[in-house]
Amino acid sequence: MAQGALFLDRDGVVNRERGAHTWRVEDFEVLPQVADTVKAAHAAGLLTIIITNQSGIALGLYSHADVANVHAYLHRHLAQQGAVLDAVYYCPHHPDHGRCLCRKPGSLLFERAIARSDIDPARSVMVGDRQRDIDAAAGAGVRGILVQANAPLLETLKNEAIF
């Protein structure tokens, strides 16, 4: 039977939104409640998956290797607190440099995650700090929760009765 998932936007939900592209570990500040949120999601039987736009790659600001380095840091940081992300999906494209289906508000990254991990969209939720996050989730049949950037994640999900 397919399981549910907690999908999370990255910048502004998992790490502090700085108002600029974040691709260096020294600029990547994991928000305080993220590890506890990931653990609570797993305890509730949900996978935890990040879905993020990383258009700085297309803009030439940073590389796929830079993104991989930041995500490796995130995995290590969470593991030190006993939390494990199930997957990270990102779009490297920018709308000024061609079209793609994976950039939010497109839903392709959600569809990939749903197919690869046998996820039930009806039992899933996306937390994002921009309307495009919510629109992308809706395109894949996933409920979206719009939050303020850098908001306390665990409290928000408890208030929404996610777990």
Catalytic residues: 9, 11
Q: Are 62 and 68 in contact (CB under 8 A)?
A: no
Helix or strand or coil: residue 43? helix
Specify burial of residue 96 (Cβ count, 10 A radius: 0-12, 13-18, 19+).
exposed
Q: Are 35 and 82 in contact (CB under 8 A)?
A: yes
Q: Are 116 and 110 in contact (CB under 8 A)?
A: no
Beta bridge partners of 139: none
Name the pairing type of β-strands 125-128 and 143-146: parallel
Q: Are 74 and 30 in contact (CB under 8 A)?
A: yes
